[in-house]
Amino acid sequence: MEKREVYFDNSATTRAFDEVRDIVAETMTVDYGNTSSRHMKGVEAENYIKTAREEIAKTLKVKDKEILFTSGGTESNNLALIGTALANKRAGNHIITSCVEHASIYNTTAFLEELGFRVTYLPVDHDGHVSLDALREAICDDTILVSIMYVNNEIGAVEPIEEIAKIIKEKKPSVYFHVDAIQAYGKYVIRPKKQGIDLLSASGHKIHGPKGTGFLYIDEKVKIKPIIYGGGQQKGMRSGTENVPGCAGLGLAAKMVYTDHDARIDKLYAIKDHMIKGLQTMDGVTVHGLTGRDSAPQIVAAGFEGVRAEVLLHALEDKGIYVSSGSACSSNHPGVSGTLKGIGVKDSLLDSTLRFSFGAFNTEEEVDYCLEVLNELVPMLRRYRRA
């Protein structure tokens, strides 16, 4: 079997589009001004920021001024939670989230608990969907914020965002609804105004944009405090010299992923379905969560009975195949996945699950190669483990 390089870890990060690379290079070496400078170089830089903000706002059908640039998803999530909690603490001290959120949410809510806020963690069902009944029961007079992810980063579960928003607004209209859309932006057509979303986080390097870039959509009616102070850039909401190359690249990536969007997503689902069908023919392999269009187009999580995930990951790496054994954002801190525990995965698969995640540059032929390698490696590794 000829060794190939296959990158199936796109939920960790993506290869940038060539056009994104080019605009980043241009704004680092030609149009490299500081947006706060009053000369023409500064004006040129400011135009890149303005264009990027406009392009992102168009993808969401929101106002340009409602897009705030950040350093990525983690900062966006921190600002959404800490900024709204501090700005609204007189109205209440209760926050609701789920038990399957990304570390940048649950570590932030842990910090807020230290400050005296009370946090409710909603359970999920076997498919990873938040309990709507538990949400109804949890909303009370002191609730000020609900934060639920759009797409789970480990198994690809898609949360019922519009139903959640409806319940929130029916029970207590003043409660803000934050959505971590880091794995959803670029994959779904998102309309915050129609879907009842008040704040939304996104990250550039998940959509073939630059690392270290992201944005937070903040509905103009939301009461929020900054968490970074300084020179007053971005109307005082996020001080610090703007990352012109990053923002320019992010804006272009956003425009590109929403161009021919249906075709892009159809391609991802075709790759995903091909992968799942192949995995389902293998003995002792369990695909977690829902399949097909009931789950996100880019993520497949599968448990390999009798094989440690880390061992299989490195065996695949030796064959040129790159995958993840969990959320890459926390993969340097090994531990049992809260998501897998939350959906009731049996103990024997908790340390035997890999995530395959796809992007714009992947093909079904790469899936065939990966399946061929898995069919060779898994039986061998099982025998080795038993020995």
- State the pLDDT at residue 327: 46
Residues 257 and 129: their CA atoms lie apart, in Å, by 26
Query: Averaged in consecutive runs of 10 residues, what is the pLDDT profile of the chain (387 residues)?
Result: 91 98 98 95 97 98 98 98 98 97 97 98 96 98 98 97 98 98 98 98 98 98 98 96 98 98 98 98 95 95 96 97 73 63 87 96 98 97 74
Coarse DSSP helix, strand, coil percentages of the chain, rounded to the nearest 5 percent:
45, 15, 40
Q: Which of 13, 20, 7, 14 is nearest to 363 (CA)?
A: 7
- State the pLDDT at residue 201: 98
- State the pLDDT at residue 346: 87
Extract the tokens encoding 183: 């794995």
| Domain 6-15+261-386 of CATH type 3.90.1150.10 | yes
Burial label, 167 (beta-carbon count in 10 A; 0-12, 13-18, 19+): buried
Q: Which of 142, 160, 203, 110 is nearest to 295 (CA)?
A: 160
Q: Is 159 helix (H, G, I), strand (E, B) or coil?
A: coil
| Ramachandran class of 71: left when φ > 0, alpha when ψ lies in -120 to 50, beta otherwise | alpha
Residue 296 contacts by C-beta under 8 Å, 6 or more apart in sequence?
Answer: 151, 152, 156, 157, 158, 183, 184, 187
Residue boundaries of the structural domains of the chain: 6-15+261-386, 18-257
Q: Which of 99, 140, 329, 370 is catalytic?
A: 329
Which residue carries 């590109």 as its tokens?
Answer: 256
Give the rounded distance of the alpha carbon of 258 from its chain centre: 16
- State the pLDDT at residue 333: 47
User: Quick check: is 140 catalytic?
Assistant: no
Q: Is-contact 244 45, C-beta < 8 A?
A: yes
Q: Is-contact 359 208, C-beta < 8 A?
A: yes
- State the pLDDT at residue 336: 59
Give the rounded distance of the alpha carbon of 333 from its chain centre: 19
Q: Is-contact 149 99, C-beta < 8 A?
A: no
- State the pLDDT at residue 303: 96
Extract the tokens encoding 107: 């570590």
Residues 75 and 223: their CA atoms lie apart, in Å, by 18
Which residues are registered as beta bridge partners of 67?
Answer: 217
Q: What is the pTM of this model?
A: 0.95
CA-based angle 285:297:258, to the nearest 5? 165
Residues 131 and 32: their CA atoms lie apart, in Å, by 49
Q: Is-contact 100 124, C-beta < 8 A?
A: yes
| Domain 18-257 of CATH type 3.40.640.10 | yes
- State the pLDDT at residue 386: 54
Residue 278, H or E segment? helix 261-280
| Ramachandran class of 98: left when φ > 0, alpha when ψ lies in -120 to 50, beta otherwise | beta
Terminal C-alpha separation, the chain = 26
